[in-house]
Amino acid sequence: MTKEAPEKPGIQPGSSRNRETVKAQIDENLRRAYDAVLTEEVPDRFKDLLARLQGGSADSGTKSG
């Protein structure tokens, strides 16, 4: 026998109100995560790679010969 989690009063599972609440929570969490990523600094390793690609450097990290 499994117990179901107690439901919030006034919100029925599968109701459009419940779906809208869940969508709003997802939107808010995605915005928070995206905003956090936007404020992160680009790693030096990635900056170096971009600089090499933009400069057309012959040293691409592979050895030929």
Whether 36 is covered by a domain: the verdict is yes
Express each pLDDT in 4-63 by its tens digit: 655 556 556 667 889 999 999 999 999 999 999 999 999 999 999 999 999 875 554 555
Whether 2 is covered by a domain: the verdict is no
The CA distance from 56 to 59, in Å, is 9
Q: What is the pLDDT of residue 65?
A: 43
Q: What is the pLDDT of residue 25?
A: 96
CA-based torsion, 10, 13, 14, 18: positive or negative: positive
Name the residue with higher pLDDT: 3 or 21.
21
Q: Specify the number of domains making up the chain.
A: 1
Are the C-beta atoms of residues 11 and 18 closer than 8 Å to each other? yes
Supply the range of the domain harboring residue 40: 16-54
Whether 9 is covered by a domain: the verdict is no
